Each structure stands twice: as structure tokens, then as C-alpha cells.
Structure 1
Amino acid sequence: MLTKLADTGERMTWSGYQAAFWAVLLCFSGAESDRPLSGEPHPPLATAPGQWSPDARRRYFESRDALREEVDALAPRAGEHPDRHLAELVRLHRVLTVRSAVYWQHRTHLFAERVRALFDDGVGLARQLSRHDPEGGTRTLARILIDRSTFHVATHEFDAARDDFRQAVSYLGELD
């Protein structure tokens, strides 16, 4: 399907509601990386952010600043001691990316601009992890490439989506 979209483009103009569906799937996909604090309301999986309770939505999205600070603080330690910190840095960065993408997805004029660098940085970090830990890191890299591939689909960048997806599948094939 990605090859067809890359070759022919999207044939229909959509109203934008597809981004909301994508956000639901991204939240679902990213849930394994997310570890909400004890007692913190967690958004229900497989529901659109507009359907979450106001408290869950507020805490989920307001946590982005704290996550950014954690990622920034952990990055130098991951560079010095990748065995101890790189996997956690990749996990936290993925949580930040998912929360930011879901936050910005309904602001269509700013969406790609606000989250593209997060997806790209996440792939870069996952590549480092893959070099450091070939088995576990390569699985993580494939997962993050798929995340970025779906971002490219959401922004109608079908060639890039296909390329990321092909890379992800090749890495998963190498692990079998």
C-alpha cells in the first residue's frame, strides 16, 4: 500500500479526521513505553484524546515539559554510560514523541513542524541503541521506524513512509 501511495499519491482529499484515528493508534502503539505515575489517571487506550477525561488529558499533555527535561538530563549520561542509560533515554524519548504528536495532531497547520524533529531524533537514538545492543536495540529501532513511517503517512510523505517501513521490516527479518 505504501508503494502504491508513493507512486500515485493519495487519490482523495480528506477532511483531517484520519489524523485523529492515527493519534489513537499511535497512543496504543506507544503504551508499552509509557509508565504513568502511581495514581495518575491514564488515558483509556483505543479512544480519541477528545474522549478522555479532562484530568487525564491535562496530565497526559502537561507532562511533555517534564519529559523533555528528563530526556535532556539523561542524554549526557547515556552518552557516557550507554549500558546504563541509553535504553531508558530511547524509551523516554518515545513517550515524549508520542505525547507530543498526539497533542499536535489536531493542529494541522503546525503538526509536522512541531513533531518532525522528535521522530527524527528518536530514530537517531534508536540507531545508537541498535549499534550498542544489536538484538534488543534493533527491535526498538524497527518499532521507532514504524512510528516515523506512520507519521510520514499522516503528513502525506509517502516515499519517506515506504522507506522507513522497508527498513523496519528488514531489521525485523534479520532478527528472525
Structure 2
Amino acid sequence: MEAIIPIAPNTSYYHYYRSNGLVRSPGGYLGEDIDVLYDYIHSGKEENRARNNRVVRDTEMINGMDRIKGDYNEFWEGRDYLNQMRPMKAALLMAHGFNDWNVMPEHSYRIYKKAMEMGIPTQIYYHQDGHGGPPPLKMMNRWFTRYLFGIENKVEKDPNAWIVRENDTQQNPTPYKSYP
């Protein structure tokens, strides 16, 4: 993979379900935790479901998610893409909404920051809306033209951060040298 543009990605299940150790109820579902996600997606083949429920949901997840203390632990560490970035090489243009109460904007920032530290071509685009919302088509086109098709267009000389300011449109982000 040469280039990617993740839009409001869930990059860490700990950060999706927790805020400073407390359950944060993503999407407004009070008490929701990772076991609820498991139930929602009906994990595994139906003939294996009873075993999967017993081993995965009722043992690994219940013991690992630690609702008593809410600490980031080995269970959550294994579900955090930040810890799996070492082999990543794809040019990265992250996109996220500042008012996303489903997947919080910090998900994109953590990956953007790590990619910058790794020397990966990286930019971030933030808008004022909620969950979802891609960068402007022109920005995505420049990104893929350079990093997918290898055409020199100097996108790597562009600012690293693009922020749609209050009362502006998503097609008109303000450029910044970096973020924050």
C-alpha cells in the first residue's frame, strides 16, 4: 500500500471506549463497552458461537477490559493500532471532524503524530462536523497523484495540517505548518 486517507478511523479500542479510565459511552449508549461491540457483530460462525462467547467475550474480554479500574493494560494495548505502526510506510492523510462524538478526534492525531515521528509523509485534515467527512477532492487527488501514481506535484511541500475554521466550508480549510 502506497498511500491511504483514513476518515475518522477507530485506531484504539481503549480510546474509543474510555476517557481517562472512565467508560465514555461512544454514540450515547450508556455503559457500552467492547463486549457490546462483540455482541453487535455476532463474532464467529454460528456453530462456534457458544464457545466463542464463553472464551472470548465472557473470559478474555470481561477480564481484560477492566471496568473496575479502567486502566490501559495488555488487553487494550493489543487493540491499539499505534503499537502496530512500525512496518507502516504508506503516505498518510488523516481526516477527522472536531465534533465527532463517536470516534474522538484524538484517534487521528495519535496516528498522525507517530507517522510524523517515523518520517512517513503525513498530513492531517480537520473539519468542524461530526463523524466522517473526507478532505476536499482536490486535496485527495493531489495526495494520490503524488504517492500512488508517483507524479511529482510538490504535495510534500504543502502545510502538514489543514483546519476548516468556524463558519467556513469543508472545501476551504486553512493551512497550518503543523498541528497542534
Query: Shorter-chain TM-score: which interval?
Result: under 0.3
Structure with bigger helix share is: 1
Structure of greater Rg: 2
TM-score with structure 2 length normalisation?
0.25
TM-score with structure 1 length normalisation?
0.25
Structure with bigger strand share is: 2
